Amino acid sequence: MNIIDRKRDHIEIVRSGRAQATVTTGFDAIRFVHCALPELDLGDVDLSTRFLGKPLRLPFLISSMTGGPARAEAINVHLAEAAQALGIAFAVGSQRVALQEGALAGFSSQLRRLAPDVPIYANFGAIQLVNGFGQAEARRAVDMIEADALILHLNPLQESIQEHGDVNWKGVLRGIGRIVRESGVPVIIKETGCGISPALAAALADCGVSAIDVAGAGGTSWAAVEGARSATPSKRAMGEIFRDWGIPTATALSAIAGILPQMPLIGSGGIRNGLDAAKAIRLGAALVGQAAPVLEAGIEGPERVVAHFEEMAMALRIACFCTGSANLARLREAPLL
């Protein structure tokens, strides 16, 4: 099966709900101290922010979710249109197919024309940095969509369960350092649902990365995705054994923020609603990312995506209001039980 067929399978398995982790993100254990007299007008709560120097009306990121199948073009168009309407950031799915095969597969400068005023992030797997990719591919990934930054994603567990996955990760950190030095744009490192440890975050900071997306456990399990699509009984078994592997999102955020308070963090992995988003921001996230919860809306159209994030924003705004937080900076200081 080629990579395009694999990407199509990924979308269908995620849509089916069969790949949801059963481990929790850790956000349910976090409770804000309620402020019964906020001395605020709910409508005045300011949810705007800046990330990597770019202004955003809302602190949300449409996280990477698809790359390869023909339907990616329509999905990416819908997501770009919604990001522009909402004033939020948008990360495309893996551009590996486009870089290797020359087919744009939904990745073109059209995305920038549809979303001229919001950050767009390019993306491919960091493992490719030891499989032939380098500065030229990084530059092409950025240029083809006129991106503001480059995401390099980490997915060793997924690769270890995927049929014919890339399992030799020797030299990847060194490759990341080279791209950081040579790319000319900010480099964001993200996991794909297993979280990033404080020790790795510190090593990435030493490499000069501009931001880290913790992408913790509690959302889509890519071990379960690859297990579900495998024809090999042992691989299917591995997918189930490692379904809940990883660092819960709340734990990863709190731990990294504790040792790297100046590092811009993205909180993603199992974010269900705007209250989870508020908790992620309180724990140190500068942006909050969602992928799987947006996928169905992205398939249907930009209006559905806009409606989804407007509901997210409403819950986040109420969380700010009921903690007496006039803006996100104040929310980061809100007391917790």
Integer angstrom CA distances of residue 172 from 109, 175, 311: 29, 5, 39
Does the pLDDT at position 6 exceed 70?
Answer: no
Least reliable range by pLDDT among 12-21, 135-144, 314-323: 12-21
The H or E element containing residue 56 is strand 54-56
The H helix count followed by the E strand count for the chain is 15, 10
Q: Pairing relation of β-strands 265-267 and 60-62?
A: unpaired
Per the domain annotation, does 337 fall within a domain?
A: no
Whole-angstrom distance, CA of residue 160 vs CA of residue 217: 17
DSSP states along 263-306: S-EEE-SS--SHHHHHHHHHHT-SEEEESHHHHHHHHH-HHHHH
Confidence of residue 70 (pLDDT cuts 50, 70, 90): low
Mean pLDDT of the chain: 93
Confidence of residue 3 (pLDDT cuts 50, 70, 90): low
Does the pLDDT at position 71 exceed 80?
Answer: no
Structure tokens at 300: 């249907």
In total, how many domains does the chain have? 1
Q: Are the C-beta atoms of residues 251 and 216 closer than 8 Å to each other?
A: yes
Tell me the per-residue pLDDT of 228-244, one tens digit each, with 9 for 90 and over.
988 899 999 999 999 99
The H or E element containing residue 288 is strand 287-290
Give the domain range for residue 231. 3-331
Confidence of residue 25 (pLDDT cuts 50, 70, 90): very high
* pLDDT the model gives residue 67: 52
Per the domain annotation, does 223 fall within a domain?
A: yes
Q: Are the C-beta atoms of residues 19 and 225 closer than 8 Å to each other?
A: yes
What is the pLDDT averaged over residues 129-156?
A: 97
As to burial, measured by CB atoms within 10 angstroms (0-12 exposed, 13-18 middle, 19+ buried), residue 255 is: buried
Q: Which of 163, 265, 259, 276 is nearest to 218 (CA)?
A: 276
The CATH number linked to 193 is 3.20.20.70
Whole-angstrom distance, CA of residue 249 vs CA of residue 27: 8
Identity of the residue numbered 92? V
Residue for token digits 């007008």? 41
Say which residue, 250 or 6, is predicted with more confidence.
250
* pLDDT the model gives residue 88: 98
- Spacing of C-alpha 182 from chain mean position: 23
Whole-angstrom distance, CA of residue 15 vs CA of residue 296: 7
pTM (2 decimals)? 0.94
Query: 3-state DSSP call for residue 84?
Result: helix
What is the pLDDT averaged over residues 44-51?
A: 98
Q: What percent of the chain has pLDDT over 70?
A: 95
- Which residues, at least 6 apart from 234, have a Cβ–Cβ distance to it below 8 Å? none
* pLDDT the model gives residue 26: 97
Tell me the per-residue pLDDT of 181-235, one tens digit each, with 9 for 90 and over.
999 999 999 999 999 999 999 999 999 999 999 999 999 999 999 999 888 999 9
Tell me the per-residue pLDDT of 306-333, one tens digit each, with 9 for 90 and over.
999 999 999 999 999 999 999 999 999 9
Per the domain annotation, does 336 fall within a domain?
A: no
Instruction: Annotate 176-193 with b (16+ C-beta within 10 A) or e (fewer).
Output: bbebbeebebbbbbbbbb
Per the domain annotation, does 273 fall within a domain?
A: yes
